[in-house]
Amino acid sequence: MSIDQESLRRVAEAAVSVELETEDMTLNIGPQHPSTHGVLRLVAKVDGERVSGVQPSIGYMHRGYEKICEVRTYPQITAIINRIDWTSGYANEIPFIVAAEKLMEIEVPERAQYIRLILTEMARIASHLMFMASYPLELGATTPLMFALRERERVLDLIESVTGGRFHPNFNRIGGVKPAYGSGSATRKTIQDLPQGFLQGTRDTMDAVLGTCDEIESLVTGNEIFVARTKGIGVLPPDVAADYGVTGPNLRASGIRFDLRKVGDYLPYDRFDFVVPIGQTGDSWDRWWVRLEEIRQACRIVQQAVDGVPSGPLQAKVPKIIKVPKGEVYVRAENPKGEMGYYIVSEGGQGPYRLKIRSASFSNLSMLSWILEGVLVPDIIAIMGSLDFVLGDVDR
Amino acid sequence: MTESPSDTAASAPEAISTNPLFEYAARVAAAVGASAHTVDFDTIKIRVTPDQWIPALTTAKHELGLVHFSYLSAIDWTNDVEVGDPPSEEVEERFEMMAAVADLTDGRIVHFVTDLAKEDASIASATAVYAGASWHEREANEMFGIDFAGHGHLDNLYLPTEFEGNPLKKSYPLLAREVKPWPGTVDVEGMPESEEEAEAPTTTPSGASTENPGR
């Protein structure tokens, strides 16, 4: 019997070492796969478990915003652009409004700037908490979802209490933020400001979010499966990231300490103390860690801002019918997903002649073919999830 | 500079001392041999000829430290528009190509622009300089019909393969509106203190009007 087994083993070994004739298989992922965060289709060529090439196919969410904005007025456009990146709708409005204000040379009151800043950072926290929920889920860990969404709900409630909207606040007006009952109206003089208890509620929520960050970190950092699936997976070198126009946490995870909040002047970030976290290697783990750290820093900014909200008007004086003087301007802001910018070409009318929307996820996703070259099939999900894109932000 | 009325570096001497971007823009323009440059509202535009397009971007990336490719797009300048408002004064019919590149240290972003003729618009592809230009060029190709020589696979990014036309051209109509007109009255009450405006609905594009609210 033992001889028989020995010869069987030899035969089996011989069979394994034979060069097999294999063909590349085309694997279609999406457009409805849960990890595609919307409707993204990947056409992957796979050689066994190894990916030899990926062709992303986008456009399922294309809504033609750049065209429709040419026939809309500036106040109408803010409602449209909320829908670009719906996980942080509020943050989408900021660069557009600031760009229009630059062209009109309007000085925004301090109080409005602080409210904008607080809500922008809350949108960042909400967006990153969504990532904290979805990314481990895609890798098989369900518990962080419960922790992250619980706190995200509290942050969204705060945004809703001020703006009236959870995802699409449409709260900014050219010259400031929206007073709840319409400014200057003779019959409705009441101008609602921040709701009662908002500042204390924000302080409590920020403490809770910071606590949840610790919980999520302790849940995930020591999780061997999570670490094995993310450490060293999907390494993005800094020069490739810059070449493809990758921005935001994905860029910083590659070790480039660049944050438009530090170098830009679109909101008064220079008054607050916060650090820009960067990653060491640019792998999926770093992209995860940078976002976790950014939630903590955003909480710090909000905590400092609610302590220093100045009093004063919510809006600058603006004409009733907004007409933006002729000119061209590009304003970009550090959105949760990366650099979001608007190039406004105004010809002096009530709407822009041309509005170019530079969205973060579009450029972040454009290097997908590069980063997925040669990875294993299950790593596609691990890498794609770590890039944290939203298809509305890709297709516009 | 038909479309940029305000200060060029030469015509605004008092601003040079206050805004460091003027000096920076002049340096970039000199390095790439630009024909003109403007700094409007902190937006730096460096105008080059189509022949200089790739050399200018190469210089920007390798010598000026503008390593980050932000975006690439175009503006369709025309006096005869199908949708929206026409330009306020007569413009030269052309595509204005623009590529925005940035550094990752000081937060400076530079827009390189060049003019292309409307007929058979074509320019060399920047994908060899910045890999990120690939998707942006595909987008500009399907939206404006601009050809990028040397790109290789300019297939549609958003639109179906059989789609005809270039939607972001000013000559392209908004089809949804032509197929189905705006269905009715907008139920918006007029602002109390602006009754004289509410009586003239054509002046309030978002307000009480039986016209399409999008003008």
pLDDT per residue over A212-263, tens digit each? 999 888 888 888 888 888 888 889 999 999 999 999 999 999 989 899 998 8
Share of chain A above pLDDT 70, in %: 92
Q: Which residue has the tokens 């935001």?
A: A248
pTM of the model: 0.82
pLDDT at position B114 is: 92
Comparing CA positions, the residue from B59, B50, B82 lying closest to residue B147 is B50
Q: What's the pLDDT at B3? A: 42
- pLDDT in the model for residue B205: 42
pLDDT bin (cut points 50, 70, 90) of residue A205 is very high
Size (chain B), residues: 215
CB A281 within 8 A of CB A235: yes
The pLDDT of residue A354 is above 80: yes
Chain B residue with minimum CA distance to A187: B192
Tokens of A93: 């409005």
Q: Which of A71, A240, A362 sits opposite B215 (nearest CB)?
A: A71
Q: Which two tokens stand for residue A202?
A: 């924000």
Q: Look up tokens 């009715």; give the residue.
A: B184
Closest CA of chain A from B29, distance in Å: 19
Please name the residue of chain A whose CA is at the shortest distance from the CA of residue B75. Answer: A354
Q: Please indicate whether, in this complex, the C-beta atoms of B71 and A363 are within 8 angstroms of each other.
A: yes
The predicted pLDDT at position A350 comes to 85
Q: Where are the alpha helices (DSSP H) in A110-186?
A: 110-138, 143-163
Q: How confident is the prediction for chain A on average, in pLDDT?
A: 85
Q: CB under 8 Å to B43, separation ≥6 — which residues?
A: A328, A329, A330, B111
- Nearest Cα of chain B lies from the Cα of A317 at a distance, in angstroms, of 16
**Which site among A55, A71, A394 would you substitute to test the B interface, given the most B Cβ atoms closer than 10 Å to its Cβ?**
A71
- The pLDDT tens digits for B41-80 are 888 899 999 988 999 999 988 988 899 999 999 999 988 8
Partners of residue B111 in chain A, C-beta under 8 Å? 330, 343
What is the rounded CA–CA span in Å between residue A251 and residue A231? 17
**Does a cis peptide bond (omega within 30 degrees of 0) precede residue B55?**
no
Residue B210: pLDDT band with limits 50, 70, 90: very low
Q: Do A243 and B214 touch (CB under 8 A)?
A: no
List the structure tokens of A1.
């019997």
Copy the structure tokens of residue A4. Answer: 């028989």
Rounded distance, CA A55 to CA A41, Å?
A: 8
* Cα A282 to Cα A286: distance, rounded to the nearest angstrom: 6
Nearest Cβ partner for B168 among A66, A72, A329: A66
Average pLDDT of B178-201?
A: 59
Contact B104 A341 (CB under 8 A): no
Q: Name which of B69, B85, B159 is nearest A243 (Cβ-Cβ).
A: B69
Of A68, A188, A327, the CB nearest to B41: A327
Q: What is the mean pLDDT of chain B?
A: 78
Cβ contact A59–B68 (<8 Å)? no
Task: Write out pLDDT tens, residues A100-133.
Answer: 999 988 888 888 899 999 999 999 999 999 999 8
Q: How far is CA A172 from the centre of its chain?
A: 19
**Do A338 and A92 form a contact (C-beta atoms < 8 A)?**
no
Distance CA A340, CA B113 (A): 20
Rounded Cα distance between A324 and A347, Å, is 8
Q: Chain B residue closest to A242 (CA)?
A: B68
Contact B66, B110 (CB under 8 A): yes
CB pair distance less than 8 Å for B194 and A320:
yes
- On the CB side of A129, how many CA atoms lie within 13 Å of its CA? 30
Within 10 angstroms of residue A149's Cβ, the number of other Cβ atoms is 15
Mean pLDDT throughout B127-144?
A: 90
How many other β-carbons are positioned within 10 Å of the β-carbon of residue A261?
22
pLDDT score of B9 more than 60 = no
Which secondary-structure segment (H or E) carries A163?
A: helix A143-163
Cα–Cα distance for residue pair A16/A34, rounded to 1 Å:
36
| Highest mean pLDDT pick, A191-195, A268-272, A387-391 | A268-272
| Whether residue A191 has pLDDT greater than 60 | no
Residues facing A271 on adjacent strands: none
Cβ contact A244–B194 (<8 Å):
no
How far does the CA of residue B118 sit from the closest CA of chain A (Å)? 17
> According to the model, what pLDDT value does residue B189 have?
62
Count of all residues that appear for chain A in the document: 396
A33 versus A94: which is more confidently predicted? A94
Nearest CA among A239, A330, A287 for reference residue B69: A239
The reply to whether residue B45 touches residue A343, judged by beta carbons under 8 angstroms, is no
Strand-by-strand arrangement of the B94-102 sheet: B36-40, B43-47, B109-116, B94-102, B68-77
pLDDT of residue A50: 86
Residues in CB range of A319: below 8 A, 6 or more apart: none
Q: Which residue of A has its CA nearest to B68?
A: A242
Q: Are B6 and A327 in contact (CB < 8 Å)?
A: yes
Of B71, B76, B134, the CB nearest to A358: B71
CB contact under 8 A, B76 and A345: no
Cα distance between residue A17 and residue A253, in whole Å: 41
Q: Do A245 and B71 touch (CB under 8 A)?
A: yes
Give the single-character DSSP code of B87: P
β-partners of residue A328 are A345
Q: Hey, are the CB atoms on A326 and B174 less than 8 Å from each other?
A: no
Distance to chain B for A289, nearest Cα, Å: 21
Question: Are B191 and A182 inside 8 Å of each other by CB?
Answer: yes
CB atoms within 10 A of CB A97: 27
